[in-house]
Amino acid sequence: MPGKGLDKEKAKAGASLVSGGRLLGLDVGSRRIGIAVSDPLGITAQGLETLQRRNKRFDLQALEEVIRKYEVREIVVGLPLRMSGAEGTQSEKMQVFADDLRKRFSLPVHLWDERLTSAEANRLLRETELSIEKRAKAVDRMAAILILQSFMESRR
């Protein structure tokens, strides 16, 4: 099942629940960032427009607008692990990205195991009537939804 969290992240997630506000889920890639937000109660996740990355300044500014608009109180970033659970180069990049988010927004940022979320997103989208082109654009958003939904479910 995609999104099984890291034990230490699960512990932190439950301990750092901030009342009020929404959670922001991010599926960060080199070209795009899939974005999802929770409902105000933190029960369901909905996808937002996928962010086409340009540079660090642009990306953080765009995320700041989302954080303000949706009154985000916590951020969940997908952590790409190898199938063995080991961390690799991409995992290290996400840890740096998460640190950048913490410094910029002073919000709790959780890294969440995202293994298989893109594959699951592709599978779900293949079952729709979307064209191949539209499906490709929706994969990052769907992966962000799956990451965020899995994180929220772990808190229940």
pLDDT in tens, the chain (156 residues): 444 444 444 434 433 344 568 999 999 999 999 999 999 999 999 999 999 999 999 999 999 999 999 999 999 999 998 888 889 899 999 999 999 999 999 999 999 999 878 778 878 888 888 887 777 778 899 999 999 999 999 987
Closest to 45 measured CA to CA, from 124, 134, 151: 151
Global confidence as pTM: 0.82
DSSP letter for each residue of 88-144: -HHHHHHHHHHHHHHHHH-S-EEEEE-TTHHHHHHHHHHTSS--HHHHHHHHHHHHH
Q: Residue 77 in contact with residue 110, Cβ under 8 Å?
A: yes
Domain architecture of the chain: domains with CATH: 7-155 (3.30.420.140)
Separation CA 106–CA 72 (nearest Å): 11
